[in-house]
Chain A
Amino acid sequence: MKRLFTYLAASRKAIAVGTLIKIVGTMMDLFIPYVLAHLLDNVVPRKISTAVVFWGGAMIVFSIIAYLFNVIANRMASLVACDTTREIRYDLFSKSSYLSSRQTDTFTIASLESRLTSDTYNVNHMIGMSLRLGIRAPILLIGGVVMTAILDLRLTLVMLLTLPFVYLAVRKASLAGIPLYKLLQKKNDEFTRVVREDSTGIRVIKALSKVSYEQERFDVANRDAIATEKKAGMTMARLGPLTTFVLNIGMCAVILAGGFLVMREKTTSGTIIAFMSYFTIIANALINISRIFVNVSKGSASMARIDEVLSADYELMVEGEAPLPYRTAPLIEFRNVSFGYQGKAVLKHISFTLQRHETLGIIGETGSGKSTLLNLLMRFYDADEGEILIEGVNIKEIPTKVLRRRFGVVFQNDFLFADTIEENIRFGREALTDTAIRRAAGYAQASTFIEERPEGYDSLLAIKGANLSGGQKQRTLIARALAADPEILVLDDSSSALDYKTDALLRASLSAHFSSTTSVIVAQRVSSIQTADKILVLSHGEILAAGTHAELLAGCPFYAEISESQMGGAILD
């Protein structure tokens, strides 16, 4: 909540002016009954028709002012709510973008998504409602109390005795409510996750006739969310009736005490009657305040969830001052690097160097740690042990942005989005010219299928690129990696869906145009890496052997076997 106030502070001027206008508008609403009372009590009995018209006219004028001021104040309130929400949502998205991969894994994407949308929405609702009703109700409350105090201080004190109980009721309900609403949002994350998973896996679900199973799975999440929602609703539902009841006890007390006082001639029955009409105003105000509290509880729960993300520490920080790079040092160096996910070792004691303009090939069994090695190189995770150096500088000392700017990369499960093909290749790099994009598409062997489409580079891709074949997706992604002419090209098994012919053309084109680009290529096919300057053979997270194709054929039976099985031995020159 503290954070919310810092956000609101940006709009303090609007809030102040809006509050003022709202107060005036509300006062107008209070004036009308006052004028009415005056009209009935003083003017009518004296039968002055001009005065009747005058006071009647005044009421109409007050009505107009009340209308205008309330409209303006409501609009301002909504503007403040919207602007604040926008800021919060912006910061939340930015923060999510800069979280480390480990943090994203912990929060989960489904949860980040619902924090960005439904939680910010709840906060929006809370601010708007608090500013609209949260000012009017307290004014009426305070106004009512002041008026009763003027009428009779003793009776007012009797009435005020109930307020601590009202406070306790509100406090208790919102203390119980906030954690429930937080739980509810968490349950909502759960069904968001199911929907996300199922819309990705819809083919498999349908193919395996698992529709009813998935419906059941969603049903569990749905039931859970609804049950929590119901519980939260029930908790907050007590608040209204309880407040009303406590207040009515107060009213009875006032009447009784009033009776005593009248008996002792300390007050009059007229005062009690007037007192009661103000009491109604006070009671209504309190009921409205308790209604706001339902919203506030929900909003605070959401704000707390947003705050969890916003106050997460930045990981992958730059450590120490980066010394100047040594141009003579190897471009990439791993020094005794080890790493594990959830305590399970994936890479063990990896050391190697790669000079500028060289190509590194990585081959190894499924699950031997090839992709993980790339994750560490680009600092998606920090190594548990050892150092990774670029031009002799530890990558922890380089801002991740600067570090990653050197790379052009295609991951195994890479990401295409619903936009034009051109934008998917450009990927937000405004500085890239159309020529560069088309050239990259050409190198990546993508231009043929792109240009075949009626709208060429402006063709829209479906969600996740669903209207491209597997091989077309990979070529689009390779074009993305090549487009900015990167210093280091990283390809993680990114031609697996290409037929051999296209793959061969791609390799030819890469060696013709990118031979001086330092490359790290993970592949299953020996043919993809056999021309590399250095090949690492990984097995169970360790480097089994390293060397050129020829060296490995001679010295590494494991590698020779792979090569043999793929090349059919005899055809090899």
Chain B
Amino acid sequence: MTKNSLFRKPSPTALTLDEDKQTSGKRMKKSAVILRLLSYFGAHKGLLALALILTVLANGIALIGPQLSEYAIDAIEAESGVELPKVAFYCGMMLLAYAVSSVLSYLLSVLMITISRRIMYRMRKQVFDHLLTLPISYFDNNQTGDIISRLSYDIDTVNTSLSNDLVQILAGSITLVGSFAMMAKICPILLPIYLVTVPILVAFTCYRVKKVKPLFRQRSARLGMLNGYSEEMLSGQKTIRAYGKEDVMIKRFDRHNRETVEAYYAADYQGSIVGPGVNFINNLSISLISMLGALLYMLSGAESLVIGPLVLAAMTPGKLSAFILYSRKFLGPINETANIVSEIQSATSAAERIFRLLDEKSEADGMVMNETVASVKGAFTVKDLNFSYTPEKPILKHIDLTVEAGKTVAIVGPTGSGKTTFVNLLMRFYECGEGKIFLDGVDIAKIPLDTLRRQFAMVLQDTWLFGASVAENIAYGSVGATREDVIAAAKTACIHEMIEAMPNGYDTVMDEEGISKGQKQLITIARMLLVHHPILILDEATSNVDSRTEHLLTEAMAAITRGRTSFIIAHRLSTVQNADVILVLKDGEIIESGTHEALLEKGGFYASLYRSQFDKH
């Protein structure tokens, strides 16, 4: 790590990331983002109105305080000597006013916390709920860490700003209006100074905002990337350790770390001008007012000043000091507002990232009413299906296929020939490129996704267990499975004894270590056994299961495919030879199809594949 100097400009590399190039979609307009943010308050109109009232009351009552203290001091200054009872009385009143004001402002905080946490809850829920409706491809292209960053950091940032800044702006504008009125009453002639300084202030703030905005986007985006990288590397820790490459990954992490920190610093660096800048303009206004006011007083003396039809009251030192006092009050909230400008900036940038995720299109859902697909038989027709993830590289080419309901289809072929992709398309994890798939004569693109997928029971190549007990993992996907059902399924899947031997039996919570892939596959099979859906997909369901256990499973597997349309992908050809039809996929095309015997007789690719498993090397 490089040692830093005391003063440093942020390095320009912090600005090279263009998030728009990485994610689709245009930049959002800031006003649109803010409007959309404010729309979240819609549901809390009542509470917000209450907050508004509390703000006015708390600030109003707090203003009574100084008034009362003036009376108390008057009582001290009274000609007849100090009137202690009166002093005590006003002090008592003051205490009361401040007590009320404190309680009110506490209530206000409580209210704002309540509102903002509700919004935060809703936002997070919205984002997560939407996330699960996004197509699989979203998860292939967006780091989990980045998604997490949106759900935690970005939403946090937005809400900190919503709960604090809104109150400040509200309170500020009240003081602003009040003190402006007071100044106009005391000496309107000095007001024109504000006609100069306030526009400068506004222009300055707007200019800064424009300049700083991309920096805050960077800050959010970089933090997301850092999160993405950390999550990826932490997931791969075991391999990194095995190869002893911790230092290389640490070095790469540091690059992300540096960029994140630089982006943070760059935003702060530019943002740090705003506060003191506004303060400077304030101080300038006051200096000008006191100078001009003093000169005015000297010119006019004790007489009223007449400019054309305007007759202005004479300037006195008392008036001048009162005017300046109110000027300070007037400028105070402007100052505060400027100070929160950067907070608002980072909130809108964060909000943009949230909204961008919310604006991602959900999976296109089908339209056919549920009734038409109420009792699915499971007959498939595939017509001229083409598919590719990237345009250059077609994965599936001209697939034509008819599968009768209840038949077992085995798909074999070299790795990368498109077998898994094909079953992905059956379940509509990806949209078909060209061509169509019909289930019982209905285009699957027209069937509601939920209905379509509810027809399948499957074991996928990537076995997935979540952080709950084994029993919950097995019951996942079935409705109302009892412990007995779970145990029965586990027994059929040959995993019962292993589960019993776990530290807490069926209540053992699954984590990332301590369970082998073969065991995971068996648990997933047990899970599938409890799902009684008419179509079955087994994608390399037992690839990591030892062959003895696999053999024990054959009967169970045969039983569950009976009467269901089944698609089986396997490399061990022994598991597929009883299929009604075997499809041989090579480079995305069906090159052979038929029964085991027919294909062997044909002596083509399948026959050579079959023979190769007995070759000795």
Give the distance to chain A from B335, nearest Cβ to Cβ, in Å: 11
Nearest residue, chain B, Cβ from A39: B290
Give the distance to chain A from B60, nearest Cβ to Cβ, in Å: 15
Q: How large is the interface on B (under 10, 10 to 19, 20 to 34, 35 or more residues)?
A: 35 or more
Chain B interface SS verdict (over half): helix
What are the residues of chain A within 8 A of B392 when measuring CB–CB? Answer: 454
**Docked-complex contact B81 and A562, CB < 8 angstroms:** no
Q: CB < 8 Å: which of B232, B449, B549 contacts A463?
A: B232
Q: CB < 8 Å: which of B105, B132, B284 contacts A214?
A: B132
**Docked-complex contact A39 and B294, CB < 8 angstroms:** yes
Is A458 close to B, CB under 8 A? Answer: no
Is B238 close to A, CB under 8 A? Answer: yes
User: How many angstroms between the C-alpha atoms of A245 and B128 in the bound complex?
Assistant: 42
Give the distance to chain A from B508, nearest Cβ to Cβ, in Å: 9
Nearest residue, chain B, Cβ from A121: B153
Is A548 close to B, CB under 8 A? Answer: no
User: How many angstroms between the C-alpha atoms of A252 and B94 in the bound complex?
Assistant: 7
Is B383 close to A, CB under 8 A? Answer: no
Q: Choose among B4, B90, B240, B262 the residue with the greatest number of A CB atoms under 10 Å from its CB.
A: B4
Give the distance to chain B from A451, nearest Cβ to Cβ, in Å: 12
A530 and B616 in contact, given A90-B253, A101-B513, A209-B453 (Cβ under 8 angstroms): yes
Please provide the 5 A-B residue pairs with the shortest distance between their CB atoms, ordered closest to farther: A471-B415, A428-B248, A56-B291, A366-B518, A415-B236
Is A14 close to B, CB under 8 A? Answer: yes
A531 and B617 in contact, given A29-B279, A565-B548 (Cβ under 8 angstroms): yes
**Docked-complex contact B1 and A205, CB < 8 angstroms:** no
What are the residues of chain B within 8 A of A171 when measuring CB–CB? Answer: none
What are the residues of chain B within 8 A of A213 when measuring CB–CB? Answer: 476
**Docked-complex contact B102 and A242, CB < 8 angstroms:** yes
Query: How many residues on A have C-beta within 8 angstroms of the other chain's C-beta atoms?
Result: 191
Task: Identify 22 residue pairs between A and B in the complex whose beta-carbon atoms are under 8 Å apart, listed by A's number.
Answer: A32-B283, A44-B294, A56-B291, A60-B283, A76-B7, A79-B8, A117-B153, A191-B124, A195-B144, A195-B151, A198-B131, A202-B139, A203-B460, A245-B98, A366-B498, A366-B521, A409-B242, A470-B543, A472-B415, A499-B412, A504-B617, A566-B572
What are the residues of chain B within 8 A of A320 when measuring CB–CB? Answer: none
Is B317 close to A, CB under 8 A? Answer: yes
What are the residues of chain B within 8 A of A502 when measuring CB–CB? Answer: 414-415
Is A161 close to B, CB under 8 A? Answer: no
**Docked-complex contact A112 and B547, CB < 8 angstroms:** no
Is A200 close to B, CB under 8 A? Answer: yes
User: How many angstroms between the C-alpha atoms of A90 and B252 in the bound complex?
Assistant: 11
Is B143 close to A, CB under 8 A? Answer: yes
Interface positions, chain B 411-455, Cβ under 8 Å from A, are 412-421, 424, 427, 429, 449-450, 453-454
Nearest residue, chain A, Cβ from B465: A201
Is A308 close to B, CB under 8 A? Answer: no
A199 and B144 in contact, given A32-B286, A43-B294 (Cβ under 8 angstroms): yes
Nearest residue, chain B, Cβ from A474: B415
User: How many angstroms between the C-alpha atoms of A508 and B531 in the bound complex?
Assistant: 42
User: How many angstroms between the C-alpha atoms of A72 and B7 in the bound complex?
Assistant: 8
Give the distance to chain B from A293, nearest Cβ to Cβ, in Å: 15
**Docked-complex contact B91 and A219, CB < 8 angstroms:** no
What are the residues of chain A within 8 A of B151 when measuring CB–CB? Answer: 191, 195
Is B245 close to A, CB under 8 A? Answer: yes
What are the residues of chain B within 8 A of A211 when measuring CB–CB? Answer: 132-133, 450
**Docked-complex contact B616 and A237, CB < 8 angstroms:** no
**Docked-complex contact B128 and A79, CB < 8 angstroms:** no
User: How many angstroms between the C-alpha atoms of A192 and B540 in the bound complex?
Assistant: 30
A117 and B612 in contact, given A14-B6, A79-B4 (Cβ under 8 angstroms): no
Is B114 close to A, CB under 8 A? Answer: yes
A71 and B6 in contact, given A52-B291, A101-B238, A500-B612 (Cβ under 8 angstroms): no
Give the distance to chain A from B581, nearest Cβ to Cβ, in Å: 19
Is A411 close to B, CB under 8 A? Answer: yes
**Docked-complex contact B547 and A566, CB < 8 angstroms:** yes
What are the residues of chain A within 8 A of B235 when measuring CB–CB? Answer: 109, 415
**Docked-complex contact B460 and A230, CB < 8 angstroms:** no
**Docked-complex contact A210 and B476, CB < 8 angstroms:** yes
User: How many angstroms between the C-alpha atoms of A450 and B614 in the bound complex?
Assistant: 28
**Docked-complex contact B140 and A463, CB < 8 angstroms:** yes
User: How many angstroms between the C-alpha atoms of A417 and B228 in the bound complex?
Assistant: 11
Is B482 close to A, CB under 8 A? Answer: no
User: How many angstroms between the C-alpha atoms of A59 and B608 in the bound complex?
Assistant: 94
What are the residues of chain A within 8 A of B277 when measuring CB–CB? Answer: 67, 71
Nearest residue, chain A, Cβ from B543: A496
A463 and B142 in contact, given A502-B414, A507-B617 (Cβ under 8 angstroms): yes
Q: CB < 8 Å: which of A78, A101, A430, A527 contacts B613?
A: A527
**Docked-complex contact A64 and B6, CB < 8 angstroms:** no
Cβ contacts B252-279/A at 8 Å (1 or 0 each): 1110011001101100110011011101
User: How many angstroms between the C-alpha atoms of A86 and B609 in the bound complex?
Assistant: 55
User: How many angstroms between the C-alpha atoms of A191 and B125 in the bound complex?
Assistant: 11
Nearest residue, chain B, Cβ from A316: B241
What are the residues of chain A within 8 A of B353 when measuring CB–CB? Answer: none
Nearest residue, chain B, Cβ from A477: B239
A269 and B571 in contact, given A118-B152, A366-B519, A501-B609 (Cβ under 8 angstroms): no
Is A167 close to B, CB under 8 A? Answer: no
What are the residues of chain A within 8 A of B231 when measuring CB–CB? Answer: 109, 113, 196
Q: Which of A143-151, A257-265, A352-360 contacts B (4 or more CB under 8 A)?
A: A257-265
Q: Which of B70-78, B302-310, B402-410, B594-602 contacts A (4 or more CB under 8 A)?
A: B70-78
Q: CB < 8 Å: which of A112, A205, A241, A463 contacts B132?
A: A205
